[in-house]
Structure 1
Amino acid sequence: MAPGAWAQAPDDPAAEAKTQLNQADKELKAIRTALPDAETRETLTPLFERAMAVQRDADDAQAALQPELDQLDTRLTQLGTVPEGTVEAREVAQQRRSLTQQRADIAAAVARAKLLAVDAKQLGADIEKMRVTQLSEDLARKVNSPLSPSLWRKFARDVPADLQELGQIYRQAETTARKAIAQHGWTAPLTGLAVALLLFFPLRLWLRAAGRRYAQSERAPDGRLRRSGLAVWLLVVGTMLPGLACVVFFGALDAIGAIPPRLEKVVFSIQVATYIAAFITALSAALLVPKRPSWRLLNLDDAAAWRLRKYAWGAAALTWISIVLMALNRAARTSAITTVAVDGLIAITYMALIIAILVSLARLHRRQTDEAEAKLEAQAQSDGKAKGPPRRSGWIVVARLAGHIVVAAAVIATLLGYLNLALFVAQQLVWGAVVLLAASLLMKFADDLATWLLCPTSSVGRTVLLTTGLSESRVVQAGVLLSAGLRICVILLAVMALTAPLGNLSALYGGLDAVSKGINLGDNLVLKPSSVLYAVLAFLLVWAVMQAFQRWLTDTYLPKTELDAGARNSISTVTRYLGIIAAVLWSLTALGIGFEKLALVVSALSVGIGFGLQAITQNFVSGLILLAERPVKIGDWVKLGDQEGDIRRINVRSTEIQVGDKSTLIVPNSELITKTIRNMTMGNAQGRIQIQFTVPLSTDVAMVRQTLLDAYTDHVGVLADPAPSVFIDSIANGQVAINSFAYTSGPRAVYGVRSDLYFTMLQKFAAAGIALSSPTDIHLVRDPAPPQAP
């Protein structure tokens, strides 16, 4: 490829990246040119979004160019350097010059992309500072007080001109609508109106009733999800259908050109206002439920629920009117005095509404306090004990106090002429309350949904139990973790919703976009949220597959083999840990951490593993040896020191031994490898019985021998092969020492069989008159001393 030819290749990503950089550079210059003419926050916000788009384009171009640069570096490295005194072949030298030129061009483009990204980021930060400064200036701007007569005199003087402007807009809208209808007819407007009315009234009411019927039926989930799910359903239906009705109606008018360009922003504001107002009313219906107290999520009585429901309707109507009036003021270019007067009236109305809500909440709190006190008094009279006053919630008191302080400050700001500040505070109070209530509802719904989905008794929970083999407690824990994740998402959405009226959502999006591109943790290692998600999904997928394979191996295949229980357990345990290792390695690969980087990490941790984790590593390796060599296995009866018992489980770190009193002895695997251990059932499954006693020398030893053999033969627990045997062990001191042996089917049967044989032997010896020798006791008796003579 000739030098510079990469820039002309139509399908070359480097050429596309260079073109993208050129366009980004032109866009950045255009933003700088338009920045001095931006006088309001509404005009600064689009410029900020354009600057963030330039930064994203520059980052994308750099991401497209970097692989090309790395590939060229690799090819140049393969060519190596030319030794001094040698002449390089012509073809190789030409290829080296071509690659060097290409690398220089791409490196310059990468540097340019980095510089453009930094410039765009800095320009966005400057625009954001300007927007914040303008917001501060708007909030600090002082105008005439609503109590000032001069304000209303100026307002009365400018009202005719403003009404004339509004009339001109009305006439323009009417003229445009008449022309559009005359050209296209009434079909589209009437159809849009009919669909809008159908969405708003019959369909909305039917969907709400259908949701209530389902929540009350037996098909609905049990528990708290019935109420929270119904509340979310009412919120979604009550928000979406009125907004869709408004969008459909104006969309039908726009389809025939019945909306003039001057009113397009007003129409868009009406649609936004409809969605917001519908959201407020639907949220109040979902939380208050005035007609069905048993489904109410808030701790309110019926009177407070009805009163707050009316206030919610008032807040929704006031919000809709304020948004539409602001849009009309901008479209009609009304006078500043009219804008100030309208803002003052809206602010005062907001303050009156908020004060009414606070008074209603105070009355509700007093009623609840009186009821609690009455209940405590009744309980105290029944118990005969005096009880203190009921405890009040501290955060409720603080919230009410803060609300009164903010409202008082807003009222004072309104009276002093700081209308922008008062209106901003009032709107933020209403919007903040709406967002917090919606967030609390969604958090309850997220918690109820997650715990229901991963409940062992639900259909999803049973499916998870059957497919993954997890215990019920683990499934419940997964539900708790899912609930935490969903609630974190709700909190992030609430933060974004609270930030939206401030106008800096673009900055938040820019930060999220920067985070989504990854966090640089070192050379060639970028941690991206998508990579983390892929790693988690890869781990869960591989782990689930290995769990299914292990269950098939344990329940289906291994029982069909001739392996004993210990061998089957060893294979199952090794398979489980191999599955975990495979899942971890796969997740690390999905995270972008290759095996070469993992080897570097392991080598760096080798010293720490050698010293700090020496015991754990030793036990782990010993566990692998136990599972491979199987000197002991599950079911073996072992004796370790003064402890003995049955091996119940062999893990990679420790072994569990159940001793005679049914307690569990947990032994590190290194103890079973490095120390002497007696395996009672390893080499031979038979158990041996030994009975020893002595008889006098005058006893008929032949009869003794036959009696013992008969006792062994008669007992069902004694094996015929090997046959029992009786021996004379020694003859000394007038005693004959008898020693006998017999065998049972297993060591665990020795104790019981030997006890039975003792009973039988003593009975037969007594019947035959055979006496057993007993230890001779020697007692020394000292005669008393003779009495002394007086």
Structure 2
Amino acid sequence: MAAAPAFATAGSPQAVAADARGQLQQVSQQLQQIRRSVGDIESRETLGALSERALQAQRQADLAVRMLGPERESLEARIAQLGELADGDREGNAVASQRKALGAQQLLLDDLIKQGNLLSVEARQLADAIEKERVQRLGRQLSRRVASPLSPTLWREVIHQVPGDWRHFGVLLRQQHAALQTALARHGGWPPLLALGVALLLFFPLRLWLRRWGRRFAASGRAPAGRLRRTGLAVWLLLVGTLLPGVAVLVLVNGLKAIDAIAPRLVQVADAMVQATFFAAFIAALSACLLVPKRPSWRLLALDDLAASRMRKYAWMAAGLMWVTLVGQTLNRAARTSEITGVALDGLLALCYIALIMAMLLSLTRLYRRQQLDDAQAAADSAAARRRGGWAVLVRVFGHLTVMAALLATLLGWINLAMFAAQQMIWLGVIGMALLLLLKFADDLCLRVFATDSRSGQAIMLATGLGSAKLEQGGVLASALVRLCLVLLAVGAIALPQGNSAVMWGWLDTLRNGITIGETVLRPWALVRALLVLVVGLGIIQLLQRWLVETYLPKTAMDAGGRNSVSTVARYLGLAIVALWTLAALGLGFERLALVVSALSVGIGFGLQAITQNFVSGLILLAERPVKIGDWVRIGDQEGDVRRISVRSTEIESGDKSTLIVPNSELITKTIRNMTLANPQGRVQIKFQVPLSTDVARLRQVLLDLYAAHPGVQESPPPAFYIDGIEGGMITINSHGHVGSPRNVYAVRSELLFELLVALQAAGIALATPADVHLVSDSR
């Protein structure tokens, strides 16, 4: 492998290659250490740590490869600028030297990338092998059979081992006493006392005050209305009840560790106490915020007061039992007691777990029976009752089967299998209840954030221009996305008690590396970035649209139609830019977009032709403006005012206030009469017939006087009087007058006709009437 040049600087390909080489060397050394350690490890927990180390090495190798990727692309671009050297061609010394240096750097980066990919594969294979070994050891451990806890032989052996085990505990206590005395003599007593004071302060006054403050805030008017008030308080109580006790024990343990006041063999016991306290506090706090025995109105589970009170006690027992299990097993290993003592301890714990689970199932069964009686007395809907009791029946059946199997395994000597089944049931119950709480809280929070009456919802509507219906749809979609993530986290958390965190790390690696679809890699950060770009872009478009419509365009000389055309074209142009910007943020290059457009062209040719035609027609209408907003147009036998022009259709309001939606292609390809396009004036036409004996001069004066007297008739152009023809003893009169708008023609014409009839009657001028035909019969 070529060495990096001596003149490498920070940020150069040589420096990046040197950093990547160092990381890959560390990865190689870590994998060698893990391979040597696998054969010497006996406990599954340590194997789990080795598996996580292997996965960490894989992530480090992948990081080095990703770090080298941009540098290799940069080198390829620089080499491409030099062009290909044809056979027989010669180039200058400077260019040849540059080409040689770039080629050497490219080979170096290629070698490092290949090495990183190989180490990543080796690390993944090593982690898979370790996980397979862990599964095999778990199977052997669960299938191991020992003496039954009810066997007298077991307890005789335990009694026989008691003196030796007691001596082991005595040794452990003396080591701890010596370590504590040495630490106090060296550092004094104030560090552990300070840690104890802080721990007590966290556990008692601060924890109780935060709980009371949360309840007062939830009951006040400052808390959000709706269900979020209850679920938010429940999550707050869960956080306070979990973190403060665990942090208190953590402070106390770290205070003792800081002065080396804990014996080396008890360090793992102290760490187990911290973990057990966090876990036990989580169970207790979860039961408290879900059950709420003393406040039924705040209870999130459909339980009565009796069931809530009993389940609360069982939850405390489960928390204490889990604490004793974690700390007791760790202490037993640290004291190095006899194997038979460990078997007896596991057997007793298994029986305690089974008894506790049976008590919980019995309480659930009694609750179900009480609910059935209440439904029968209230004559509730039977379908609803079955729907409500279906999950309870399933849980009870599964729980009874698991308890019976665990009890049978305990009595037959499969203690590890019974412990595993019982602990998994407790853990599944805890995860299920926590998931239920978080799902409700996520749903309430998302719906509240996107509510139309909330400040956040109003801010979103103001920034994006979304309506109330779309805002609520956004809240539902956000809730669904968050709840899906919570379900996936819960599925991964089920494997944590057995140390299978590699499953979650694998999911995280998959998400971080992205999902490959064809030649496109979709990464979570790219999706988040594209979503942010889309939201920010829509907000900018909304602000610019509002500035155009309300501030800039009213100051111009354009009419309403022109302003609408400018704002509409600007809006769609902005949407197109935001769409391209979003796709670019998603990682889709313009060459891929060209392929998509090419593929869509076939669909446009067949199924989207009309839509494309209307779209193009809409752009033509907005650009040429043969029809604009406010115009009065006639299409066939329909006429009305143009109210809105979009890129697909045009809305025309007719005289009866109904809306006529016309595709834009109709306005481009067909004949449209626009009565307000070039001239805003309208013309009133009055045409009638009079007998041949009529005084035409007098009639002309009467009609022109009517035009002149009417305030709606304009003086310029002046009204006109015409004789269209003389035929059949009748004179055809035609006259015209202009009004300010075509919309006034109908009303002015009606008023003129009314006044004309009155004036003609006063002047004694008769209008032509249809001839009457009389049939006379001859009686002769």
Same fold (TM over 0.5): yes
1:727 Cα deviation from its structure 2 partner: 1.8
Q: Hey, what's the Cα distance between the residues in 2 that align with 1:706 and 1:636?
A: 35
Q: Hey, what's the Cα distance between the residues in 2 that align with 1:391 and 1:749?
A: 70
- 2:492·2:503 contact (CA, 8 Å) conserved in 1? no
Q: 1:244 and 1:750, CA in 2 relative to 1: closer, same or farther beyond 3 A?
A: same
TM-score, scaled to structure 2: 0.95
1:304 corresponds, among 303, 307, 314, to 307
2:450 corresponds, among 447, 450, 454, to 454
Q: Hey, what's the Cα distance between the residues in 2 that align with 1:20 and 1:141?
A: 43
- 1:7·1:15 contact (CA, 8 Å) conserved in 2? no
1:742 corresponds, among 715, 737, 746, to 737
Q: Which secondary structure does the structure 2 equivalent of 1:662 belong to?
A: coil
- 1:455·1:476 contact (CA, 8 Å) conserved in 2? yes
Q: Hey, what's the Cα distance between the residues in 2 that align with 1:69 and 1:223?
A: 56
1:167 Cα deviation from its structure 2 partner: 2.1
TM-score, scaled to structure 1: 0.94
**Pairs within 5 Å for 1:712-727:** 712-727=707-722
Q: Which secondary structure does the structure 1 equivalent of 2:262 belong to?
A: coil
- 1:643·1:659 contact (CA, 8 Å) conserved in 2? yes
1:593 Cα deviation from its structure 2 partner: 2.4
Q: Hey, what's the Cα distance between the residues in 1 that align with 2:257 and 2:438?
A: 35
- 2:635·2:673 contact (CA, 8 Å) conserved in 1? yes
1:128 corresponds, among 126, 131, 139, to 131
Q: Which secondary structure does the structure 1 equivalent of 2:633 belong to?
A: strand
Q: Which secondary structure does the structure 2 equivalent of 1:37 belong to?
A: coil
Q: Indicate the residue corresponding to 1:661 in structure 2.
A: 656
**Pairs within 5 Å for 1:428-577:** 428-521=424-517, 525-577=520-572
1:400 corresponds, among 392, 396, 403, to 396
1:23 Cα deviation from its structure 2 partner: 1.9
Q: Which secondary structure does the structure 2 equivalent of 1:695 belong to?
A: strand
1:334 corresponds, among 332, 337, 343, to 337
Task: Please tell me whether residue 60 in structure 1 is matched to residue 63 in structure 2.
Answer: yes
Q: 1:707 and 1:397, CA in 2 relative to 1: closer, same or farther beyond 3 A?
A: farther
For residues 14-34 of structure 1, give each alpha carbon's deviation from its aligned partner in whole angstroms, at most 9, with x where no partner exists.
011112222211221221111
- 2:464·2:539 contact (CA, 8 Å) conserved in 1? yes
Deviates more, 1:499-508 or 1:589-598: 589-598
Deviates more, 1:703-712 or 1:228-237: 703-712
Q: Hey, what's the Cα distance between the residues in 2 that align with 1:418 and 1:93?
A: 76
Q: 1:94 and 1:727, CA in 2 relative to 1: closer, same or farther beyond 3 A?
A: closer
Q: Indicate the residue corresponding to 1:632 in structure 2.
A: 627
Q: Indicate the residue corresponding to 2:4 in structure 1.
A: 5
- 1:7·1:14 contact (CA, 8 Å) conserved in 2? no
Q: Gapped runs of 5+ residues in structure 1?
A: 380-386
Q: 1:184 and 1:518, CA in 2 relative to 1: closer, same or farther beyond 3 A?
A: same
Paired residue type of 1:762: L
Q: Hey, what's the Cα distance between the residues in 1 that align with 2:93 and 2:719?
A: 98
Deviates more, 1:92-101 or 1:177-186: 92-101
Q: Hey, what's the Cα distance between the residues in 2 that align with 1:92 and 1:593?
A: 35
1:316 corresponds, among 306, 316, 319, to 319
Q: Indicate the residue corresponding to 1:254 in structure 2.
A: 257
- 1:539·1:583 contact (CA, 8 Å) conserved in 2? yes
How much is the aligned-residue C-alpha RMSD, in angstroms? 2.3
Q: Indicate the residue corresponding to 1:593 in structure 2.
A: 588
Q: Indicate the residue corresponding to 1:32 in structure 2.
A: 35
Q: 1:76 and 1:556, CA in 2 relative to 1: closer, same or farther beyond 3 A?
A: closer
Deviates more, 1:402-411 or 1:594-603: 594-603
Q: 1:431 and 1:552, CA in 2 relative to 1: closer, same or farther beyond 3 A?
A: same
Q: Which secondary structure does the structure 2 equivalent of 1:297 belong to?
A: coil
Q: Hey, what's the Cα distance between the residues in 2 that align with 1:148 and 1:781?
A: 137
Q: Hey, what's the Cα distance between the residues in 2 that align with 1:783 and 1:359?
A: 117
- 1:570·1:627 contact (CA, 8 Å) conserved in 2? yes
**Pairs within 5 Å for 1:696-711:** 696-711=691-706
Task: Please tell me whether residue 190 in structure 1 is matched to residue 193 in structure 2.
Answer: yes
Paired residue type of 1:184: H
Q: 1:89 and 1:699, CA in 2 relative to 1: closer, same or farther beyond 3 A?
A: closer
Q: Which secondary structure does the structure 1 equivalent of 2:294 belong to?
A: coil
- 2:54·2:123 contact (CA, 8 Å) conserved in 1? yes
1:513 Cα deviation from its structure 2 partner: 1.5
Deviates more, 1:391-400 or 1:615-624: 391-400
Paired residue type of 1:464: I
Q: Which secondary structure does the structure 1 equivalent of 2:656 belong to?
A: coil
- 1:3·1:98 contact (CA, 8 Å) conserved in 2? no
Q: Hey, what's the Cα distance between the residues in 2 that align with 1:777 and 1:120?
A: 112
Q: Hey, what's the Cα distance between the residues in 1 that align with 2:680 and 2:17?
A: 76
- 1:618·1:670 contact (CA, 8 Å) conserved in 2? yes
2:753 corresponds, among 743, 758, 764, to 758
**Pairs within 5 Å for 1:265-304:** 265-304=268-307
For residues 120-147 of structure 1, give each alpha carbon's deviation from its aligned partner in whole angstroms, at most 9, with x where no partner exists.
1111111111112222222222222222
For residues 65-106 of structure 1, give each alpha carbon's deviation from its aligned partner in whole angstroms, at most 9, with x where no partner exists.
333333444444444444444555555444444443433333
For residues 204-237 of structure 1, give each alpha carbon's deviation from its aligned partner in whole angstroms, at most 9, with x where no partner exists.
1111111111111111111111111111111111
Paired residue type of 1:36: G
For residues 656-685 of structure 1, give each alpha carbon's deviation from its aligned partner in whole angstroms, at most 9, with x where no partner exists.
222333332222211211111111111111
Q: Indicate the residue corresponding to 2:682 in structure 1.
A: 687
Q: Indicate the residue corresponding to 2:18 in structure 1.
A: 15
Q: 1:34 and 1:750, CA in 2 relative to 1: closer, same or farther beyond 3 A?
A: same
1:641 Cα deviation from its structure 2 partner: 2.0
- 1:694·1:737 contact (CA, 8 Å) conserved in 2? yes
Q: Indicate the residue corresponding to 1:110 in structure 2.
A: 113
Q: Which secondary structure does the structure 2 equivalent of 1:526 belong to?
A: strand
Q: Hey, what's the Cα distance between the residues in 1 that align with 2:772 and 2:323?
A: 113
Q: Hey, what's the Cα distance between the residues in 1 that align with 2:79 and 2:288?
A: 70
**Pairs within 5 Å for 1:110-259:** 110-259=113-262
Q: Hey, what's the Cα distance between the residues in 1 that align with 2:508 and 2:30?
A: 22
Q: Indicate the residue corresponding to 1:384 in structure 2.
A: none
- 2:464·2:535 contact (CA, 8 Å) conserved in 1? no
Q: 1:84 and 1:604, CA in 2 relative to 1: closer, same or farther beyond 3 A?
A: same
Q: Indicate the residue corresponding to 1:382 in structure 2.
A: none
Q: 1:622 and 1:7, CA in 2 relative to 1: closer, same or farther beyond 3 A?
A: farther
- 2:461·2:471 contact (CA, 8 Å) conserved in 1? yes
Q: Hey, what's the Cα distance between the residues in 2 that align with 1:84 and 1:253?
A: 76
Q: Hey, what's the Cα distance between the residues in 2 that align with 1:146 and 1:631?
A: 95
Q: Which secondary structure does the structure 1 equivalent of 2:717 belong to?
A: coil
1:64 Cα deviation from its structure 2 partner: 2.5
For residues 665-712 of structure 1, give each alpha carbon's deviation from its aligned partner in whole angstroms, at most 9, with x where no partner exists.
222211211111111111111111111111112222233223322332
1:10 Cα deviation from its structure 2 partner: 6.6
Q: Hey, what's the Cα distance between the residues in 1 that align with 2:157 and 2:774?
A: 134
- 2:4·2:18 contact (CA, 8 Å) conserved in 1? no
- 1:531·1:592 contact (CA, 8 Å) conserved in 2? yes
Q: Hey, what's the Cα distance between the residues in 2 that align with 1:683 and 1:98?
A: 72
Percent identity between matched residues is 55
1:614 corresponds, among 609, 616, 619, to 609
1:374 Cα deviation from its structure 2 partner: 1.0
Q: 1:743 and 1:521, CA in 2 relative to 1: closer, same or farther beyond 3 A?
A: same
Q: Hey, what's the Cα distance between the residues in 1 that align with 2:99 and 2:485?
A: 53
Q: Hey, what's the Cα distance between the residues in 2 that align with 1:435 and 1:74?
A: 52
Paired residue type of 1:5: A
Task: Please tell me whether residue 602 in structure 1 is matched to residue 597 in structure 2.
Answer: yes
For residues 468-517 of structure 1, give each alpha carbon's deviation from its aligned partner in whole angstroms, at most 9, with x where no partner exists.
33222222222222222222232233223222113111232133123212
Q: Gapped runs of 5+ residues in structure 2?
A: none
Q: Hey, what's the Cα distance between the residues in 2 that align with 1:91 and 1:256?
A: 65
